[in-house]
Chain A
């Protein structure tokens, strides 16, 4: 098991390095590196200064080495727009994004699994068919448009919930979180639901497919033959078997949630990483863009690693047979 973790860890490190090289190459080879690091209004003399100071006159591998060295130290350049180190700006916004993503994940599980299992157990009822129709709608609807509609209906027309922004925050273990305040929850609900919509549909379909497959297995019949209550058969025997694929997908999809928060944050003006990157792309604040890409790659690699490890914990067949992987 430890061998497995170590091996996966090494793989992750390699992926991060590769991605850093891709980002570096993309920025420095495809794009104009000087443009990347200097704001557009600089004149020739400034450019020369920057080129020298950034060592852009040196061969590319030296540049790459310095890039990595800088990255490890936490120096990824200074933002044009904010004037502060890019890394710091991004890190400051991470809690907001994570809060949104986790809230969406929670909703996806809390809503998706019960509905999906029900649809799987009783596939021919009207309720079940409605659920499935709803799920198609759920992942067809473009997230941003749904967000707009949410705002229009709940904030503008009905006035129940605030339309944009994050609510009041309180510090929790040093990090500012907003879900512990009523105002925070009010601001959190719509964006989280918006972000979760796609995932809810996916979880419903997964849970339903899993349920339909598992429910016909011999061991379910055997469990009933043992005289177990329906509740136990569903909640223990069935659930544990469908949780494995559901958790795997959800884990992988958590990264997707973070990525897609870009959209939700833009629509709801939620002050997270996603909104930052969009603003930065539009204002051509390249150091921030680079820093964001590096950080997001890191986040993803970590998530994938965690999911792999969790999968092996959940499925005893994988855990106990020292997978050749």
Chain B
């Protein structure tokens, strides 16, 4: 049934009854409609907290050589060490408690992933806003670059950069940032283009507000919803990408053992049957990524104006 009918929608509730509900509360209510996504959100918060408070939560410090003994190496999950400490998830080839290693690894994986995501977001958003705001040839030029970069997969870009730049935490972050900024740029530019034509921007321009101010204080906040969605999902990608690169041996150096490196270390032992060394870090990585994706999925459904009634 087409047409602008009023028949199937309730009579316009002009705020009297619904005045108490702020947009934020409505957002929370809509989000909570999916129990899975709500569960995922809390799990994500838990993971972040664990990563943040790693030194206080982990049973041992796996990188303190004094605490690690080669005698404990390759112990199956659940065995006890000589000191009475239970290795709930077993130990790796050097005797490190896997639980602790995973917790610290989470910290690094999340840290690198989030940091590179944030930087990429800032750069990408600025570029996208600039392109959309100034339009015309500036826009065409910028978007051409963005499109070309986007036609190459992120992993390839990261590989190219790492091949040129070499190893190191800072280089990884640079590579991740460069691999990601284009997604943010395109997303922000898309929504900024839509917003740009709306009247409040015209009004701001009539008031002779400076470009900076218009772009960042008026245009940008209205582009946030899709950016939040993309940001969440991109962060998951970044974490996965970093893990992949570390696994391949071209990522983070051994001094910063992310989950990818842990998995890589365990690879050799796997064929001999010591599966847990790769398995559990993998599960931790997997759960983190899945949880972020679930949250991002639900955010996308909730924030998508087309799906809103």
Binding partners A and B:
yes
Chain A residues engaging chain B, CB cutoff 8 angstroms: 15, 18, 23, 26-27, 30-31, 136-137, 139-145, 148-149, 151-152, 156, 163, 252, 255-256, 259-260, 262-263, 266, 277-278, 281-282, 289, 293, 296-297, 300, 304
The 24 sampled A-B contact pairs (Cβ below 8 Å) are A26-B164, A30-B165, A31-B164, A136-B293, A140-B289, A140-B293, A141-B289, A142-B289, A144-B244, A145-B278, A145-B285, A148-B267, A152-B275, A156-B270, A255-B151, A259-B153, A259-B156, A262-B159, A263-B155, A263-B244, A263-B247, A266-B248, A278-B249, A300-B156
State the CA gap A152–B275 with chains docked (Å): 8
Per-position 1/0 for B156-184, Cβ under 8 A of A: 10011011110000000000000000000
CB-CB under 8 A for A142 and B244, given A136-B290, A148-B278, A281-B159: yes
The interface centre, meaning the residue of A140, A255, A277, A289 with most chain B CB atoms within 10 A of its CB, is A140
Q: Are A262 and B248 in touch, CB under 8 angstroms?
A: yes
Q: Are B155 and A259 in touch, CB under 8 angstroms?
A: yes
- Which residues of B234-264 are within 8 A (CB) of A? 236, 240, 243-244, 247-250, 260, 263
Closest to B239 in A: A142
Chain B residues engaging chain A, CB cutoff 8 angstroms: 148, 151-153, 155-156, 159-160, 162-165, 236, 240, 243-244, 247-250, 260, 263, 267, 270-271, 273, 275, 278-279, 282, 285-286, 289-290, 293-294, 297
How many contacts A-B (CB < 8 Å)? 104
Residues of chain A contacted by B250 (CB below 8 angstroms): 278, 281-282
Q: Are A277 and B159 in touch, CB under 8 angstroms?
A: yes
Q: Closest approach, in angstroms, between the C-beta of B32 and any C-beta of chain A?
A: 19
Q: Closest approach, in angstroms, between the C-beta of B242 and any C-beta of chain A?
A: 10
Q: Closest approach, in angstroms, between the C-beta of B105 and any C-beta of chain A?
A: 13
Residues of chain A contacted by B236 (CB below 8 angstroms): 140
Q: Are A145 and B282 in touch, CB under 8 angstroms?
A: yes
State the CA gap A140–B282 with chains docked (Å): 12
Q: Are A142 and B271 in touch, CB under 8 angstroms?
A: no
Q: DSSP class of B's interface residues: helix, strand, loop or mixed?
A: helix
Residues of chain B contacted by A260 (CB below 8 angstroms): 153, 155
Q: Closest approach, in angstroms, between the C-beta of B38 and any C-beta of chain A?
A: 15
State the CA gap A142–B237 with chains docked (Å): 9
Q: Are B294 and A136 in touch, CB under 8 angstroms?
A: yes
Q: Are A256 and B153 in touch, CB under 8 angstroms?
A: yes
Q: Are A293 and B271 in touch, CB under 8 angstroms?
A: no
Beyond A15-B148, A144-B243, A152-B275, 14 additional contacts (C-beta under 8 Å) are A30-B165, A141-B289, A141-B290, A142-B260, A142-B285, A252-B151, A255-B153, A259-B155, A259-B156, A260-B153, A262-B159, A277-B159, A282-B250, A300-B152
Residues of chain A contacted by B248 (CB below 8 angstroms): 144, 262-263, 266, 278
Q: Are A156 and B249 in touch, CB under 8 angstroms?
A: no
Q: Closest approach, in angstroms, between the C-beta of A199 and any C-beta of chain B?
A: 12
Closest to B236 in A: A140
State the CA gap A256–B158 with chains docked (Å): 13
Q: Are B293 and A148 in touch, CB under 8 angstroms?
A: no
Residues of chain A contacted by B165 (CB below 8 angstroms): 30
Residues of chain B contacted by A304 (CB below 8 angstroms): 151
Residues of chain A contacted by B267 (CB below 8 angstroms): 148
Q: Are B153 and A281 in touch, CB under 8 angstroms?
A: no
Which of A144, A151, A293 sits near B263, CB closer than 8 Å? A144
State the CA gap A277–B160 with chains docked (Å): 10
Q: Are B290 and A140 in touch, CB under 8 angstroms?
A: yes
Q: Are A293 and B160 in touch, CB under 8 angstroms?
A: yes
State the CA gap A23–B267 with chains docked (Å): 33
Q: Closest approach, in angstroms, between the C-beta of A126 and any C-beta of chain B?
A: 14
State the CA gap A152–B297 with chains docked (Å): 31
The interface centre, meaning the residue of A255, A259, A260 with most chain B CB atoms within 10 A of its CB, is A259
Which of B152, B247, B275, B290 sits near A144, CB closer than 8 Å? B247
Residues of chain A contacted by B282 (CB below 8 angstroms): 142, 145, 148-149
Q: Are A296 and B156 in touch, CB under 8 angstroms?
A: yes
Q: Are B164 and A27 in touch, CB under 8 angstroms?
A: yes
Q: Are A262 and B151 in touch, CB under 8 angstroms?
A: no
Q: Closest approach, in angstroms, between the C-beta of A137 and any C-beta of chain B?
A: 6
CB-CB under 8 A for A148 and B156, given A142-B244, A142-B286: no
State the CA gap A282–B251 with chains docked (Å): 11
